[in-house]
């Protein structure tokens, strides 16, 4: 895979997934951010439709991260 394809197929979705997850940092204190989070997860899915790596990130990371991070926040509160 050349550098341009790597960037568009792997690097960009990975970075965008991180930006979406970052929303959850304040969601424990601001529950309305969970709705924003889900909107961004959908935007991510729309942006990277047809990209197998992005779908992996969405299904195995983004759609599960909110529950895990919320539980971690409860324990640390």
- Look at phi and psi of residue 50 and say left if phi exceeds 0, alpha if psi is from -120 to 50, else beta: left
- Quick check: 20 pLDDT over 80? yes
What are the domain boundaries of the chain? 3-76
CB neighbours of residue 23 within 10 Å: 20
**pLDDT-based confidence at residue 70 (cuts at 50, 70, 90):** confident
In degrees, rounded to 5, the angle at the alpha carbon of residue 59 between the alpha carbons of residues 13 and 38 is: 80
For the chain, what is the largest distance between any 2 Cα atoms, rounded to a whole number of angstroms?
45
pTM of the model: 0.89
In terms of Cβ atoms closer than 10 Å to its own Cβ (0-12, 13-18, 19+), residue 31 is exposed
């Amino acid at each position: 895979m050349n550098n341009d394809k790597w960037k568009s197929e792997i690097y960009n979705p990975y970075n965008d997934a991180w930006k979406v997850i970052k929303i959850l940092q304040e969601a424990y204190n601001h529950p309305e951010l969970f709705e924003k989070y889900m909107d961004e997860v959908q935007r991510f899915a729309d942006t990277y439709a047809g990209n197998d790596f992005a779908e992996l990130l969405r299904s195995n990371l983004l759609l599960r991260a909110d529950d895990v991070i919320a539980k971690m926040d409860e324990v640390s509160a």
